[in-house]
Each structure stands twice: as structure tokens, then as C-alpha cells.
Copies of this chain bind each other. A is one copy, B any other.
Amino acid sequence: MRPIAILSVLAGLSALTSPAASAQDRPPRPPAFASPEVTAEKKVSFRIHAPKAEKVQLSSSDLPDAGRGLDMTKSDEGVWEATVGPVVPGAYRYSFNVDGLAVIDPRNPATSEANNNTFSLVYVPGSETSDAKDVPHGAVAEVVYPSQTLQRPRRMHVYTPPGYEKGEGRFPVFYLLHGATDSDASWSTIGRAGFILDNLIAAGKARPMIVVMPAGHTGPFRFGGAGGVSFETQMAQFEQDFVKDLKPYIETNYRVIADREHRAIAGLSMGGAQTLNVAFGHLDEYGAVGVFSSGVFGITGGPNGGAPDTRWEDAHKSTLDDAELKKGLRLVWFGCGKDDFLLKTSQATVEMLKRHQIDVVSRDTVGGHTWLNWRDYLVEFAPLLFQGK
């Protein structure tokens, strides 16, 4: 092919990519730059071209100095820049705040879907546990299943381990739930669940398993309640959909080992509370339970203190005290950071379960209510599953 002919085709394609402005008022071509840029020293530079803006900040819950907004500096060409780090290897969500407007990085196609919005995503390599390494990889699928509970098709993500698609073998199933600010895509984007499992399985540390990541919200959800359906109703709908629709779909359509010993459930934050509801509502079905940065919501009393809320304990009392039923419960694992605002909730739930003679592995870690911890908890929890101990 002649380069000049190819250029002609490319010029035509190029015109399609900037449909916003007509020829006469099209702004000058923005300067060439990359964003994000990760250096060998694990520093990360972020850049955005916003020549008219008065103030631009980098915003990221997990990147150093960016939790409350990090001021970016403007170049003569109108490119704002900020550099952070060196940072711990792993995945980071971020956005820019341009004069009050939350904006993802226009130069970065990688994103991570959350509850009501999408963040930009940068991966800083160097992690033994979450890098995309040269090992056999599983597949992470978007799957739409029919929900009788909600009377509509509903999406989940499903990790199948390396080799699954060849068609041989049956596998244990681990249900992994997200938090209130996230979606069913979050565990496999910012959470790196697929890569973490790939690496654990390749190292012989975890058993090959199917990981099912449901959608935790059953409808629009906003803090403050503008979503229409109450939080309590959504929690009840989630549990019913999970029990009657999602889990049966998995057990009908995937090659699973469908017994208690080969079925585990864990979740973070809101998903931890949902995990407790599902597991202790159907304890004959789950052999392992994980609660990350969470517990029974409200167990420590109201915002101004007050009496501990014993409703959950009262509602599940017969299960909590059923010695025969508890025999098959091989693992109850709690992890929470010392700076987590749900630490007391987590601790009170652990104490409550212990009062009912349930063995609980409780891991107190550093850090707060962040994905930095939840990835680590997954790395620690998954190897404990389905080991026949």
C-alpha cells in the first residue's frame, strides 16, 4: 500500500473523531501529551488540556495527596499536570475536577464503572498479586440473566478459571459482592479479581474456582435517597434475587460443584452486610463467609450512640445457635482497617458471632475503607477456600 493513499483514508477517519465542532469554529489542535504516565519509579503523572479553566485538581480516593483534591499546575499551552508517588503497585481510580466539574481523563480509555458514575483507571505494575503476568488467564464475562424478582434482565460478572472454556471439570463457586459506591464491574476493574485469582491459581495457592460478582443495587441508588427505592427495600430485593434468580442461574448454566463445602460468599462494605444476610439466612448452603470492612449495619447503635441494635441477631438466633448447622461452617473471616469508619461495626459483629460460639478469623489491618485493603483481603481470603480442611 502506498503511504499517501493510507493517509487519505486516515484523514477521513480522523474527521470522524472530532465531531463536536464545525470546521470554521474548530479550536486549534491540542498539544501532544500522554496521560496517565507511569514511570519506572512508580510515579504517576496526570495531564489534561483545559486552557480556559481557573482551577483543576486531581481527585482520587486512593492516590497519595489526592483524597481531598490535589491542585494541578497549568503550562503555557494550557495543559494542567500533577505527579504523585512513588505509589504502591496496583489499580487506582481517579478523575479531574475542572472548575467544579468531575471529568474523567480524556486521554485514557481505561475506566472503572462505579454505582452512579465511571472513573478513569490507571494500573501501576509491580504487584506479585495483581499484575497481568505471564500465567494462564481465566475469562471475566458480562452475563445477563433473567430476574423473576425484578422482572427484568440483570447483569453480573463471572470469572471462569484458566481452561474452563475447554469444557472439562466442575468447580467450586465463590460469590463476591461489591460495596454501595460500586457496580458488578468493580471487582474486576479496580478490584483486579480476575488477575488476583489467575496469579493465586498459577502459584498453587488457590484452588481453581468460579467467581460470581453480582450487582448489589436493584435499582437507581443515591446517598441521600433520591433513588426512589429505600435502602432496606434494595437490600431485601438483592437477597431475594440472589437466592431465587442469580444463584440458580449459575448452578444451572455453569459446571459447579453444588454443595455447601464448595460454595463460599464474601463482600465488602454494603456487600459484607448482604453477605451476612445471605449466608446466615441460608447457612446450610455456605461453607465459608468473608466480610470485608463491614458487619451488621447499625449494630453499634444510632449515630448518637444509644442501645446496640440486636434485631439482626434476634432474627438469626436459631441459626446462630444451631450447633449441627454450624459444623459445616468451615471459615468465617473478617478484615477491617484501623482507620475504617466501619471498624466498630465490624468489631461488634465479630463479638456478636463469637458470643454464639462461632469461630471467627478477624484480621485487623492498617488503612481505611479503600480498594487498597479489599484487594489484599481477597488475596488472603481466596486461598483459604475449598481446601477440605
Contact = CB atoms under 8 A, between A and B. Distances in A.
B101 A50 contact: yes
A5 B312 contact: no
Contact of A12 (B13, B226, B342): B342
Given A52-B100, A302-B8, A19 B67 contact: yes
A17 interface: yes
A325 interface: no
A142 B159 CA distance: 10
Interface stretch (A39-47, A161-169, A330-338, A351-359): A161-169
A137 B145 contact: yes
A71 to B, nearest CB: 11
Q: Interface size class for chain A?
A: 35 or more
Contact of A51 (B100, B232, B369): B100
A10 B369 CA distance: 13
A103 interface: yes
A71 B126 CA distance: 45
A140 interface: yes
A20 B312 contact: no
Closest 5 CB pairs of A and B: A5-B298, A14-B223, A141-B141, A139-B141, A8-B303
16 contacts: A1-B309, A5-B309, A8-B298, A8-B303, A13-B223, A19-B66, A19-B67, A21-B97, A51-B100, A53-B99, A103-B103, A103-B106, A108-B117, A109-B116, A118-B118, A134-B153
